[in-house]
A and B are shown apart, each in its own frame.
Chain A
């Protein structure tokens, strides 16, 4: 595994580069020679069938999975830090409805050194409200995480991933379990956040209808990169039709 801070042909405009990244589990090749770039301020969607290795790419980037090849981070302002800040929203974040853990508790567990079982300090509560305000979710602070709807939970996890503000935001299937209206709200919010903070966003998704409107780049993978480029180019490509057995585009 080789992780670098700077360098690469696209310099500072390139936030994340994967060069010939491969992942194996035993003798099975999960990813083979994946090369892709995420530029600063760009929203990139990773698409592919189930088991294609989308989540594995994210885990390799997060340092949770060993890999061969090179993953390079670079962004303005991160030259003196050891590692880039990665905001991560995990897949299928199922919380038990019975667990007495509120949104404020969840934030405290993630961010605060003060033990949440002794209560939430006033300062931290204000910080949580500030974070939730970014996703228009201040009213969720005292709700139990297990009782949130799919869309509300994604907004809370997004707010959590944005504090402290990351260099890159990674979302694993953020639209799964979210109703159509919630999808629209979430994508608009991501777009707003990207523009406000000039943030690079990498997400996996099975919902292709929104991609032409919001994504700058789409990468189609099935253990290796089959096609990457503008959303329309990828969604109309023979590779896309072959993988998803579709006759036409989206």
Chain B
């Protein structure tokens, strides 16, 4: 971190002379490839609403952790989200309901449980507002280290499993016929999203988190011609909007998470104008 601080201190960027901005920029540089990669598979696998539901479950986990008196409620939230993801995958593979119906069931239950837990005994909901909006400027060097570890874990998983994950997402029957354990691989992926979503919720916020998980992949899908371009563009779009959004929020004094999301929305709009035609 010292080297990182020193680099920006020597460069003439006023914005990056503040330590909290240096931390935030590093966090954005780590989060962008993380969200960029996950986003491709969330979009291909039509899991946008599921990742939204996971955000709600993360919030519920934090509320439960807080009323249990946990020193670090975020870890209670990670456990809760992972259980939520595994239970959802298990029910989905054994139910004849459409995925969006089940997501509605799980999401509304998680929200209700979260609000119930947060307000139990007449408690105030105000202290949970930071999880709704998020604040990337509050990220600490320790949390950045954790983010780096998560990025490495996701990258390794991606190198090993992305072929099977892609095939499972685009044609589960074909994947299954080639001996792939589709249920296991989907469960592992949902667990991975659960962990990332829960760790990121305090920096990005529940209301914006899902846009980061959906928009990079959605924008890249508009213009990519193959899987390599799809992943590359998704990561590049996440990086561009991350750096641009952070800069804009500094000079305009607005929420960084919201500025990043708006940047992604703009990129989506532009990519839509240049989208692939059917042929």
Contact = CB atoms under 8 A, between A and B. Distances in A.
Interface of A: 62, 64, 86, 88, 90-91, 93, 95-102, 104-106, 108-110, 112-113, 115-120, 142, 144-145, 147, 157
A47 B163 CA distance: 35
A104 B166 CA distance: 13
B276 A100 contact: yes
A93 B226 contact: no
B158 interface: yes
B268 to A, nearest CB: 14
Contacts of B163: 108-110, 112-113, 115-116
A112 B227 CA distance: 14
20 contacts: A62-B177, A88-B174, A88-B177, A90-B177, A93-B171, A101-B170, A104-B226, A105-B166, A108-B227, A109-B163, A109-B164, A115-B158, A115-B159, A115-B162, A115-B163, A116-B162, A117-B162, A117-B230, A119-B228, A142-B226
A97 B278 contact: yes
The 4 closest A-B pairs by CB, nearest first: A100-B224, A117-B231, A88-B177, A109-B167
A55 to B, nearest CB: 10
Nearest to A118: B228
B129 to A, nearest CB: 37
Given A93-B174, A109-B164, A110-B167, A144 B159 contact: no
Contacts of B170: 95-96, 99, 101, 106, 145
B225 A101 contact: no
Contacts of A99: 44, 170, 221
B109 interface: no
A91 B176 CA distance: 13
A248 to B, nearest CB: 36
B97 to A, nearest CB: 17
Contacts of A118: 159, 228
Given A109-B166, A110-B167, A113-B163, 19 more contacts: A64-B176, A64-B177, A90-B171, A90-B177, A95-B171, A98-B221, A98-B276, A99-B221, A100-B225, A100-B229, A101-B166, A101-B170, A105-B227, A108-B163, A109-B163, A109-B164, A110-B163, A116-B163, A147-B279
A68 B239 CA distance: 55
A167 to B, nearest CB: 15
Contacts of A105: 166, 226-227
Contacts of B224: 100
B119 interface: no
A120 B170 CA distance: 18
Contacts of A144: 225-226, 276
Contacts of B229: 100
A142 B224 CA distance: 13
Nearest to B168: A109
Tell me which of A86, A98, A108, A120 has the highest count of chain B C-beta atoms within 10 A of its own C-beta. A98
Tell me which of B170, B176, B229, B230 has the highest count of chain A C-beta atoms within 10 A of its own C-beta. B170
Contacts of B221: 98-100
Contacts of A95: 170-171
A117 B278 CA distance: 22
Interface in B151-179: 158-159, 162-164, 166-167, 170-171, 173-174, 176-178
A144 B278 CA distance: 9
B177 A147 contact: no
Tell me which of A64, A106, A109, A144 has the highest count of chain B C-beta atoms within 10 A of its own C-beta. A109
A194 B250 CA distance: 68
Contacts of B159: 115, 118
Contacts of A100: 220-221, 224-227, 229-230, 276
A110 B162 contact: no
A97 B277 CA distance: 9
A193 to B, nearest CB: 18
Contacts of A97: 278
Contacts of A62: 177
